[in-house]
Amino acid sequence: MMAFAEFQQRKLQRLKWYDYSNPGHYFVTVCTKSPEYFFGKVVNKKMKINDAGKMISELLVNLHKVFQNIKLDQFVVMPNHIHAIINILDVNNRAATESRPYKISLSDIIGRLKSYSTQRYIKNIELNNWLPFERKLWQRSFYDHIIKTDVELRFIRKYIKNNPENWEKDEFYIPDI
């Protein structure tokens, strides 16, 4: 099993030959920079999100308002990371200032999620005494998996749903935090 610090330093690259703006289902894991439990705790195998976790959930649920071509399939907010299945429905978008279509990629979507959540989190550190973080809330990259089959999709949905139940076996679990 990989330690949190090792995962944090590992560089995760997108597939160079694949266009991540293509329609399809994508499984993503986005981790905080440090292992602290920023978004709540798992109690009795159920995730109990705190206000920061609620903020992350709200941003995830509302991502389709920023990117009209996506649908959030399933997600879970864990103490120090999130798992989500994002379905890119259509790659043609028009910016208000552009006349030609442009493509929204998975990296664009995750980048916007990280940016919005970091801005809101920083405001709440002072206003609501949220747990402070050092320099960055999120790791620079994120893990992704292109879901190719319905069998894979069902398996990953189950993995996400059962993630809190399996928390103590998770590579991001840190006892006694």
Q: Per-domain residue ranges for the chain?
A: 19-162
Output the pLDDT for position 61: 97
Position 149 scores a pLDDT of 97
Block residue for tokens 């992350």:
56
Three-class HEC string of the chain: CCCHHHHHHCCCCCCCCCCCCCCEEEEEEEEECCCCCCCEEEECCEEEECHHHHHHHHHHHCHHHHCCCEEEEEEEECCCEEEEEEEECCCCECCCCCCCCECCCHHHHHHHHHHHHHHHHHHHHHHHCCCCCCCCCECCCCEEEEECCHHHHHHHHHHHHHCHHHHHHCCCCCCCC
Give pLDDT tens digits along the chain (177 positions).
444 444 445 444 667 778 899 999 999 999 999 999 999 999 999 999 999 999 999 999 999 999 988 999 999 999 999 999 999 986 555 554 455 556 789 999 999 999 999 999 999 999 999 999 999 999 999 999 999 999 999 999 999 999 999 988 877 777 766
Indicate the CATH number for domain 19-162.
3.30.70.1290
Residue 170 pLDDT: 77
- Laid out side by side, the sheet with 24-31 consists of 70-77, 81-88, 24-31, 143-147
Quick one: pLDDT at residue 3? 46
pLDDT given for residue 151 in this prediction: 97
Q: How much is the pTM?
A: 0.84
Q: How far out from the chain centre does Cα 155 lie?
A: 18
